[in-house]
Amino acid sequence: MDLRFAFNEDAENYDKMRPTYCRELFNDIIEYSELKKDKKAIEVGIGTGQATTPFLKTGCIVTAVELGENLAEYSSEKFKEYKNFKVCNVSFEDFECEDNSIDIIYSATAFHWIPEDIGYPKVHRLLKDNGVIALFWNKPFPAKEDDLLHQKIQGIYQKYRPSNMRIVEPASDRYKRISETIKSYGFNDLEMKLYQGNRKFSASEYISLLNTYSDHRAMPEHTKQLFESEIEQAIIGYGDIFHIHDTIELYMARK
């Protein structure tokens, strides 16, 4: 399975379970980019629009680029009241647009799907002089390292998906790597910000969330069922409440 299409299989559940982003993040992007009515924006990988409404409300013209046909249709219907919105059902790599014509290109937890040597140069080419790139990712982390439920769930992951237990890149290294990558493609005035949040799930809700992740959906069905059953029983065994702590990373820069 091409994991890029895994999100496309259940748009309604994706829209329900995937987190939105905090108001402070959108305020920071809008202030940095001086976004307002009639400016032109591209959203790369809209999904079901968790990050779209604040941009539309500025009055700017938003063109959403979405590879998944079902997701594109879902978002087109979701935002049909906005006259300043349209969806292009195409990959960003194949998306066609006039060079030097866009004021801001942003992407919410999606830009990593595009090859670096294609995505960044294309963004740079499409942006006007002083145009803005804004990339942000949500990094969820279940509870704390010494949390007993977290440890039990990690054991279940190790049982069914041992390859998932690879060494994780330290956050500080990731911040530096992404920042340096953006600057290496000719962007300037880079700002990087972090935002914190918390979510709470029942066992059934957490299983629904897992089914919005591409690598989870790609598991063999029999393994997936066993994995989900053990995860669900573990959460039920700890009061049917599972806490997730979110760190949202935002990177902004100018052409």
**What are the structural domains, with CATH classification, of the chain?**
3-141+168-198+245-254 (3.40.50.150)
If we measure between CA atoms, which residue out of 36, 164, 65 comes closest to residue 76? 65
pLDDT band of 4, cuts 50, 70, 90: very low
**65-108: pLDDT as tens digits:** 999 899 999 999 999 999 999 999 999 999 999 999 999 999 99
- pLDDT single digits (tens) 232-255: 999 999 999 998 899 999 999 999
3-class secondary structure per residue, 94-157: CCCCCCCCEEEEEEECCHHHCCHHHHHHHHHHHEEEEEEEEEEEEEEEECCCCCHHHHHHHHHH
Q: Are 224 and 216 in contact (CB under 8 A)?
A: yes
**How crowded is residue 198: how many other Cβ atoms within 10 Å of its Cβ?**
8
pLDDT at 244: 87
Residues facing 188 on adjacent strands: 254
pLDDT for 11 beyond 60: no
> Quick one: which H or E segment has residue 83?
none
The confidence score (pLDDT) of residue 28 equals 98
CA-to-CA dists, residue 120 to 88, 186, 205, angstroms: 19, 9, 36
Indicate whether 159 pLDDT > 90. Answer: no
Least Cα distance to 37 among 57, 63, 64, 52 occurs for 57
Bigger pLDDT: 19 or 52?
Answer: 52
pTM of structure? 0.87
Longest CA–CA separation in the chain, Å: 56
Distance, in Å, from the CA atom of 74 to the CA atom of 92, rounded to the nearest integer, reads: 18
Q: pLDDT for 166-220, tens place per residue?
A: 556 788 999 999 999 999 999 999 999 999 989 888 999 988 888 877 778 778 8
Locate 1 and state its tokens.
Answer: 């399975």
Q: What is the mean pLDDT of the chain?
A: 89
- How many alpha carbons lie under 13 Å from residue 230 in its C-beta half-sphere? 15
Q: Would the pLDDT of 151 be above 70?
A: yes
Asked if the model's pLDDT at residue 138 lies above 80, the reply is: yes
